[in-house]
Structure 1
Amino acid sequence: MDVSLESRVGQEVDSWLRWLPRWRPGTHRARTRLCRQCFGSPVIASAGLAEDVPHSVQHALTMRMKGIVEALVDDFTTENLPMLARELRRSEERRARRPYRPAEGLDPEFSGLDLDPPPADDAPFLFTFAELADAEPDVAPEVPAVAAPAHPLPPLSAADKVAMRAELARADDFATRVGRALCVELARHRERMRSAVAEYVEPQVQSLLADLESSLDSPQWPRD
C-alpha cells in the first residue's frame, strides 16, 4: 500500500498544481455554510493550507485526496471483505437505475460542493439539480437480465449481521490507516504547494482586498 499511496499522492498533487494557475476568485461561488470535507481537515493541515487560503483551493486538494482513500478502500474491500463488497455492488446497481445523477463525474474542484446556488427570495427556481438528483424515475430503465439476480436475496441473518459489522469495522480501520499515511505523504509536498499558493493565489487575493479597500474609501463619500 505504501508504494502505491506515495505514487498516487504525488500524482494528485501534481494535478492540483497544474490546475492552480487556472484558479480565479470570480469563478467560485461563496458558500453559505462550512464545508464538512475541508473545515478542520487533517489533509489541509498536513498540506499547510489551513490558514489564509481560499476554500475553493483547499477543496480541490481535499477531494483529490479523498478519491485516493476511497479507491484504496474499494480495493481492500473487494479483496478481503466479500459480504460488504456484495452489498456495495447491489447498492451501485440500484443507483445505476437512476437516469440523472448531476453530482457524479465532476472534476475534483467541483465534487462535493452544493449543486445549486442559494435561492433568491424574488427569483425562485423552476427546478434545482438537487431535486432532480433526489427524484425517483416514474419508470426505471431496463437492466440486463445478467445484472439482476434470478430471485430476491434473502434478508441477512443474525450471524450475517454480526459478520457485516465486523467487515465494516475492518473497512473503517483500513480507511483510518490510509488517511494517516496519506497525511504523512502529503506533508512531503508542503513546500511546493505553499510556494504555488504564494505565486498564483495570494496575488489575486491581495488584488481583491485592494479593490475592496478602495471601494470602502471612495473619494465621493462625505467626510467629517
Structure 2
Amino acid sequence: MGGSIELRVSQQVDDWLNWLPRWRPGTHRGRSRLCRTCFGSPVIAAAGLATDVPHAVQHALAMRLKHLIDAEVDEFTETHLPLLLREIRLNEERKQAALTYRPAEGLDPAYTGLDLDPPAMPDAPYLFTFAELARPEASVALPVDPLPLTVEEKAAIRAEVTRADEHAALVGGRVCAELSRHRERMRSAVTEFAEPWVLALLADLDTALDSPLWPRGP
C-alpha cells in the first residue's frame, strides 16, 4: 500500500464519511453476542465513537482500519519475517484446497466480519445457508504437510510472531493517534446522519408500545 499511515487513515475516514449517509439501520436481526472487533476497540475509542453509536456504524469504520493495519503487518512480514511468511502461505494453501466457496470474502468493509446468515423464519422454506456452503468437501484432497519443524525452527517462528505482534501494536498506536485528529468531523457526521434514524426507530417503538388496546391507569 502506498502513502504514509497518516494519509491512509485520512483516506479511510473519508471513505467511511462518504458511506455513512447511505447507512440505514437493520431491522431483520438482533445480535446475540458482542462483536469482538468493536467491543473495547481502541480504534473506536480513539475515534470517539465508543458510546451512543449504532454497532453497524462502528463496525464499518473498525473494519476499514483493521484492513489497513493488516496490510501494513503483511508487508512487514513479507519483508522481514520469512519463516512466518512460509507458514502463512502453507496455511492459505490448505484453506484454499479445503474450501470450494468462501461467501465472506470480497465483502465491502461495512459487512466484513458480520454474520452472513440471518435467523431463519419459522414458516420460511429451508433452502441453504452460507455457512453450509462454506464447509469443506470431504472428497477434496488436501496438500501434503511438509516435514515437521525442528525445535530451532519453532523457536525462530515464535520469535517472528512476537515481532509481527509488536509491529501490529506499533502501527495500531499510530493509527489511533491519527484517528483522534478526525474525531470532531466523525462525531458531527454521526449526529447528522445516524442519530435521526435511531430517533425515528425509538419513536416507532414508543408508538408500538403505547397500544390503545392496553388498559389505562386511573
Q: Does TM, normalized by the shorter one, top 0.5?
A: yes
- Deviation of the 1:140 alpha carbon: 5.2
2:100 partner SS:
coil
1:188 & 1:28 partners in 2: Cα distance? 35
Q: Which residue of 1 aligns with 2:169?
A: 176
C-alpha distance after superposition, 1:146-202 (max 9, x if no partner)? xx8xx9632211110010100001001111111111111111110110000000001
Distance in 2 between the 1:137 and 1:21 partners? 45
In the superposition, the TM-score normalised over structure 2's length comes to 0.90
Q: Write the distance in 1 (CA, Å) between the matches of 2:39 and 2:189.
A: 21
Task: Write the distance in 1 (CA, Å) between the matches of 2:47 and 2:208.
Answer: 34
Task: Read off the aligned partner of 1:75 and give its amino acid letter.
Answer: E
Query: Alignment identity in percent?
Result: 63
Q: Does 1:103 align with 2:113?
A: no
Mapped to 2, the partners of 1:160 and 1:213 lie a distance apart of 62
Distance 1:20 1:115 in 2: 21
5+ residue gaps, structure 1, are 142-147
Whether 1:127 and 2:128 are equivalent positions in the alignment is yes
Give the Cα separation in 2 of the matches to 1:183 and 1:152: 40
Alignment check: 8 A CA contact 2:103 2:130 kept: yes
Equivalent residue for 1:197?
Answer: 190
Deviations 1:81-132 (A, max 9, x none): 0000111112222222221011111111110011212345665844321122
Q: What's the secondary structure of 1:24's corresponding residue? A: coil
* Deviation beyond 6 Å, 4+ runs, structure 1: none
TM-score, scaled relative to structure 1: 0.88
Match of 1:114 in 2: 115
Show the counterpart of 2:64: 64
1:145 corresponds to: none
Which stretches in structure 2 are left out of the alignment for 5+ residues?
none
Tell me, in whole angstroms, the C-alpha distance in 1 between the residues paired with 2:140 and 2:149. Answer: 28
Number of aligned residue pairs: 215
Q: What corresponds to 1:144 in structure 2?
A: none
